[in-house]
Amino acid sequence: MIHLTNKQHCTVILTQIGAGVVSVLVPDKNGALKDIVLGYSNEEDYYNDGPCSGKIPGRYAGRIGNACFEIDGNKYPLDPNKGIHHLHGGSKGFANQKWNIEYSDAQKVIFSLKSPDGDQGYPGEMIVRAEYNWSDDNILSLDIRAKSDKDTVVNLTNHTYWNLKGEDSGSILDHSLQIFAQKWLPTDSDLIPTGEIASVEQTPMDFREAKEIGKDIHTDFEALKIGKGYDNCWVLDGGRELRKGVVLSHQESGISLEVWTNQVATVVYTGNWLSGSPISKSGRSYNDYDGVAIECQNFPDAPNKKNFPNTILRAGEEYIERIEFRIKTLR
């Protein structure tokens, strides 16, 4: 495990497995340290866990329909690890690999991974670097860069589950959530986007004004019935500049999380299927809705949707992504 500690004596713990976030310890409004991310007691449990807790999935985060895509007329079949579809880069994707440590100090670590040509079906040898920085004002930044020697597709994110009351405190349905998005992506029953880009207006997907996650989660709305809660992609306002995309907060703890990104979208997943995950750091099993993942990225299944943003990385080009998790405590 890698420990990063800032001048406020707040700590981030990371694992080489999936270049993942294991713990984030910050004070609540009463000064008590809280671990606000979900994680496991046994580090080996991060391999092949269903929730993909804390890790960087890839080469392609989210789903690719029918486990196949094309580049310039060439078809590339992928590992079908979610029924007939492909999820989070396949069963042996980036999240289930042990990344190398290129550099580390008290507040920074750089992980790297080499993905061979044909890995999980993807063309090209890809070199990926993920740099985490933990600032003195409790901003955890993640910079991801990737290059391939052949044309390929790439879509990376971080899959940390947040609970601002503390990882052992139960449901996040009482958390307040705001998403700066006018549009969202409807899906079929397998959570593959249909290609429609729909307005959030007058739907339970409208988080333009902050509201409790649980307010509409059990509404009779097809997308919520399919996922047993929120497991959907929102099209973030703005372009590719770094901007605030999501705000998560909890009044009782006094902790808030602003998520800034240069990505076009975010998937918000409310931990609808967390039951049965490995034993937690606090020694119990998590229940459904015990954490929420905020996954800044491109659109799911974009390689198969001509009207979705491009996800092709041409040989020699560089993929550049930045996510900032800005944590604040009301005093």
Question: Beta strand 63-64 with 86-87: parallel, antiparallel or unpaired?
Answer: antiparallel
| Phi, then psi, of 121 in degrees rounded to 5 | 105, -10
- The verdict on residue 65 lying in a domain is yes
Which residues are 24's β-sheet partners? 12
Q: For a pLDDT cut of 90, what percent of the chain falls above it?
A: 99
User: Is-contact 34 28, C-beta < 8 A?
Assistant: yes
Tokens standing for residue 22: 């294991």
Reported as a pLDDT band with limits 50, 70 and 90, residue 195 is very high
Type and span of the H or E element at 287: none
Tens of pLDDT along 2-33?
999 999 999 999 999 999 999 999 999 999 99
Please name which of 16, 15, 62 lies closest in space to residue 39, comparing C-alpha atoms.
15
Q: Give the integer Cα–Cα distance in Å for 312 and 130.
A: 19
Q: For a pLDDT cut of 70, what percent of the chain falls above it?
A: 100
176-188 mean pLDDT: 98
What rounded mean pLDDT belongs to the chain? 97
The pLDDT value given to residue 330: 87
- The verdict on residue 5 lying in a domain is no
pLDDT above 90: residue 290: yes
- The verdict on residue 115 lying in a domain is no
Catalytic center residues: 159, 295
- The verdict on residue 253 lying in a domain is yes
The pLDDT value given to residue 191: 96
Q: Give the integer Cα–Cα distance in Å for 331 and 328.
A: 10
- The verdict on residue 119 lying in a domain is no
Type and span of the H or E element at 293: strand 292-297
Q: Give the integer Cα–Cα distance in Å for 27 and 328.
A: 9
SS3 211: strand
Tokens standing for residue 277: 């995950």
Q: Which residues contact 157 (CB under 8 A, 6 or more apart)?
A: 56, 57, 61, 263, 267, 295, 296, 297, 323
- The boundaries of the domain holding residue 76 are 31-92+150-314
CATH of residue 282's domain is 2.70.98.10
Reported as a pLDDT band with limits 50, 70 and 90, residue 98 is very high
The pLDDT value given to residue 10: 98
- The verdict on residue 56 lying in a domain is yes
Full-model pTM: 0.97
Tokens standing for residue 247: 């705000």
Reported as a pLDDT band with limits 50, 70 and 90, residue 288 is very high
72-94 mean pLDDT: 97
- The verdict on residue 18 lying in a domain is no
Please name which of 260, 269, 188, 272 lies closest in space to residue 228, comparing C-alpha atoms.
272
- The verdict on residue 309 lying in a domain is yes
Tokens standing for residue 249: 């907060």
pLDDT above 90: residue 331: no
| Phi, then psi, of 5 in degrees rounded to 5 | -130, 130
Total tally of structural domains belonging to the chain: 1
Tens of pLDDT along 220-270?
999 999 999 999 999 999 989 999 999 999 999 999 999 999 999 999 999
Q: What is the DSSP letter of 22?
A: E
User: Is-contact 270 230, C-beta < 8 A?
Assistant: yes
